[in-house]
Structure formats: C-alpha cells, structure tokens
C-alpha cells in the first residue's frame, strides 16, 4: 500500500535532514519564526506551517483504486539546541506535529473521499554531529468515502534508533489498516 511508503519516507527524511542539516534545509516557515534568544545553554526556534499538499493513496478496501488528494497541511515545528547550532541549521531535539485535511476522487469508482490525518514526529540526538539519534513517527489517518465500504483508518507507529557505529535499528514498527462500512 502506498501509505506505508509515505509515512516511512517522511520519518526517515525528517530524521536524516535534521541529523545532517545545513543551510539548505527545506524547512522555511510560511509565517515568521519565534526564537528564544536568551535561554541559557539551549534555545528554541518555533515555526508554524500552512501549505498546500497533493498526494496519491491506493485504497486498501478496493485494490487498484488510486485516490488523488489535494488539500492543506497545518502544523508546528520546534527545534532546540544552542543559538549557534540553530543558526547553523542543527538541532539536538526537534518536534513536528501536524494535520493534513484534503479531498480526493477515486480513479476507478469516481467516489469522493475526505481525509483527516494527524501526525507527530520527533528527533533526539546527544549532540548536533553525533552519529547516534532516535526518531519516531506516529500517524492516524482517517479516510471517509461517499461509497459504503470504501472508508478506512490507517495507523502507523515507527521508532528508529541510529547507533554510534552508523547502523539503524527499528525498535517499533506497528501498522494497522481497517476498512469501514
């Protein structure tokens, strides 16, 4: 199912981008950043997100039915580290909490769909350049269809540990999909 790849890709990309952040990190806020500039050793940068999204999901309830969605993502990003590291694009801790709302049309049935997805991503590292870190991603996605039997709920929880030797270990990977009438 294409949802699985979407969630996992988002988690891995967020973890790697945060771990390897530079000046070209694609996290430019759509609203002004709120920065704490005098908080002792650590400071925090906070961004609000409001952006259009387009994506495609394969229905788990009707195999072969691709659903093209368009809508909006809203959310918040917070990065924590020293002011010097934050200004350089690094963080020892980050949180991304968001919501996606969208509408779509099924390619086979022409059924209309609405989607409501809430998710939370986190990243923690002992230092900006440390090879080890932990990252997690949790999402609940509800898709409601105009056709009976085509609605579904998708839940995903992934927790990844990167070891000091550069290896990765997935310590939790739970996925459930439930078609609803």
Q: What are phi and psi of 10, to 5 degrees?
A: -65, -45
pLDDT (tens digit, 9 = 90+) per residue, 43-56? 999 999 999 999 99
pLDDT of residue 165: 87
Whether the pLDDT of residue 93 is over 50: the answer is yes
pLDDT of residue 40: 56
Please tell me the distance from the alpha carbon of residue 79 to that of residue 89, in angstroms, as a whole number.
9
- Position of tokens 């969208």? 102
The residue length of the chain stands at 181
Instruction: Name the H helices within the chain.
Output: 2-19, 83-87
Structure-token pair, residue 14: 């967020």
* Total-model pTM: 0.73
pLDDT (tens digit, 9 = 90+) per residue, 124-139? 998 877 888 999 999 9
pLDDT (tens digit, 9 = 90+) per residue, 142-160? 999 999 999 999 999 999 9
Q: What is the DSSP string of 113-132?
A: EEEEEEEEEEEE-SSTT-S-
Which 3 state secondary structure label does DSSP give 42?
Answer: coil
């Amino acid at each position: 199912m294409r949802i699985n790849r979407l969630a996992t890709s988002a988690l891995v990309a967020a973890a790697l981008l945060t771990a390897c952040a530079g000046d070209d990190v694609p996290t430019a806020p759509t609203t002004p950043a709120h920065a704490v500039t005098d908080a002792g050793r650590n400071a925090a940068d906070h961004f609000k997100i409001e952006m259009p999204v387009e994506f495609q999901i394969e229905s788990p309830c009707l195999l072969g039915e691709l659903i093209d969605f368009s809508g909006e993502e809203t959310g918040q990003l917070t990065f924590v580290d020293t002011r010097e590291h934050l200004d350089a694009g690094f963080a020892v801790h980050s949180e991304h909490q968001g919501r996606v709302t969208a509408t779509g049309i099924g390619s086979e049935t022409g059924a209309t769909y609405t989607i409501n997805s809430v998710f939370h991503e986190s990243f923690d590292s002992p230092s900006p350049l440390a090879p080890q870190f932990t990252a997690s991603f949790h999402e609940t996605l509800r898709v409601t269809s105009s056709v009976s039997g085509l609605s579904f709920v998708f839940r995903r929880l992934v927790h990844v540990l990167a070891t000091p030797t550069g290896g990765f270990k997935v310590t939790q990977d739970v996925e459930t999909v439930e078609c609803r009438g």
